[in-house]
Amino acid sequence: MNQIIRLFSSLVLFVFSAGAFAQQPLQVDISSGHLDPTPIAIPAFIDDGARESRGADIAGVIAADLESSGLFTSVDERAFIENIQDFNLRPRFQDWRVINANALLIGQVTRQSDGRLLVGFRLWDTRLQEQLTGLQFVTAPENWRRVAHRVADAVYERLTGESGYFDTRIVYVSESIGPRGEPMRRLAFMDQDGANPSFLTDRSYWSLLPNYSPSAQQITYVSFLDGQATTYVYDLESGRQEALFASGGAGLARIDPDGQSLSARFSPDGEQLAVSIELQAGHDIHLFDLRSRNLRRLTTHPADDVEPSFSPDGDRIVFSSSRGGGSQLYVMDADGGDVQRMSFGGGRYTAPVWSPRGDLIAFVKQENGQFSLGVVASDGSGEERILYQGFYVDTPAWSPNGRVILFTRGDRGREGTEYEIWSVDLAGFNLRRMPINGQSSDPAWSPLIE
């Protein structure tokens, strides 16, 4: 797993910064509907590598990333007039404007004497005839996909003003039925675009509800390794996994379990976990300090308090509770004080997740036999907005820039609900199925990896 972390040995060169122009440079509005995605031309990167050339592959990954956001459309290369042959010459902008390419991304791959790839790009505004940004990356040849994602992130960031989310990974649950009809739930990873899938846990026990640490070096998940739901912390670098609770106090929390423990989410500083633990026949939110191993109880209501999620400033925690009868959303201070009810609509509210931008909370709402994915302002102001409605919805997961939500979508199948991971943007547009073979659920999006 450690190749995730140490990949880019250097980010060599920043080529250009924009000057002052009367005309506004190309800007993609991220908040309105995306009925009119911005056309961008991405010719194959110039590559001197002959048969090992990655130029077309890299351009293809960048185009797929940008199109997946719903904000861009990649101009068909068969329409191209100019054949870009020199990375350092200004393009013939008229050739790109007549095919309606508002933006032009050109790039070049060169092989260094140490075998590493030097990948550079320039993003041009074809109307202003101005370079908007340009960068070079140096990396090992096998990491070409990550370079492509980094370029896509840079383009997205320059044109939308928001940070990108393409150089990220997704951990999720792969669901299947074993040879004797037994349900199997395994943790799996993939790149954000579905590439490089791999399994993390084996088929002998269930693994559910994973979440990333802020450093992307650890995940928490719920494992049935010990026969009942137990919170685990998995260090991706070392492959070491430890239970929060185990009989005889053998777990990280050093206390004997009283029942099950459920999904854990990291505090923004990565030092604490918020987790619901079954105590005296009810579930309560606890704070576990990963350094001191101190466990602190935050809620004491006899009803079930589950699904805690930190605000990005670490000051507040949202959770769901059946204390008001049906399940509703509540927000409290990170020390357990000042509990406020968040949701007041009809139906059952579960699975709240605080946006990484802090302004919104995503949730699942169940009403009249339908499930909805919604968002509501985290300060309780304003109406909830429904982004998707269908037969079944669970486990919203935010993109690191807070603009896209992954979720478990269930549809009626022959042998019960069939689960897939889908994404939708904050405007409720661009509903997309993630490219995963077989049934899948419980997505968690990694932070941007530095």
Q: Using CB under 8 A as the criterion, which residues of the chain lie in contact with another protein when the complex forms?
A: 180-183, 185, 204-206, 208-209, 222, 224-229, 246-248, 250, 259-260, 262-263, 276, 278, 281-283, 304, 306-307, 320, 326-327, 348, 350-351, 364, 366, 369, 391-395, 408, 410, 412-417, 441-442
Which DSSP string do the residues of 162-185 spell out, in sequence order?
S----S-EEEEEEEEE-TTS-EEE
275: Cβ contacts below 8 Å, ≥ 6 apart: 220, 231, 244, 261, 262, 263, 264, 265, 285, 286, 288, 308
185 vs 403, which CB is nearer to another protein? 185
Location of structure tokens 């976990």: 273
Smallest gap from Cβ 218 to another protein, in A, equals 20
Smallest gap from Cβ 303 to another protein, in A, equals 10
410: Cβ contacts below 8 Å, ≥ 6 apart: 371, 390, 391, 392, 393, 394, 417, 418, 419, 420
155 vs 393, which CB is nearer to another protein? 393
138 vs 353, which CB is nearer to another protein? 353
30 vs 387, which CB is nearer to another protein? 387
205 vs 429, which CB is nearer to another protein? 205
Smallest gap from Cβ 388 to another protein, in A, equals 14
Smallest gap from Cβ 344 to another protein, in A, equals 19
Residue 442, phi then psi, degrees to nearest 5: 50, 55
43 vs 352, which CB is nearer to another protein? 352
53 vs 366, which CB is nearer to another protein? 366
Report residue 113 as tokens. Answer: 């004497």
Which DSSP string do the residues of 74-114 spell out, in sequence order?
EPPGGG--S----TTSPP-HHHHHTTT-SEEEEEEEEE-TT
CB atoms within 10 A of CB 8: 16
H, E, C per residue of 234-269: EECCCCCEEECCCHHHCCCCCCCCCCCEEEEEECCC
The one-letter amino acid code at 96 reads W
Smallest gap from Cβ 18 to another protein, in A, equals 46
Under a CB-based contact definition with an 8 Å cutoff, are residues 155 and 172 in contact? no
Smallest gap from Cβ 443 to another protein, in A, equals 12
Smallest gap from Cβ 198 to another protein, in A, equals 21
Distance between CA atoms of residues 95 and 402, nearest Å: 36
65 vs 305, which CB is nearer to another protein? 305
Under a CB-based contact definition with an 8 Å cutoff, are residues 367 and 386 in contact? no
Angle, helices 144-160 vs 55-68, to 10°: value is: 40
Residue 102, phi then psi, degrees to nearest 5: -70, -30
Smallest gap from Cβ 20 to another protein, in A, equals 52
Smallest gap from Cβ 153 to another protein, in A, equals 31
Query: With the CA atoms of 231, 232, 233 and 234 taken in that order, what torsion angle do they form, in degrees rounded to the nearest 10?
Result: -150
228 vs 389, which CB is nearer to another protein? 228
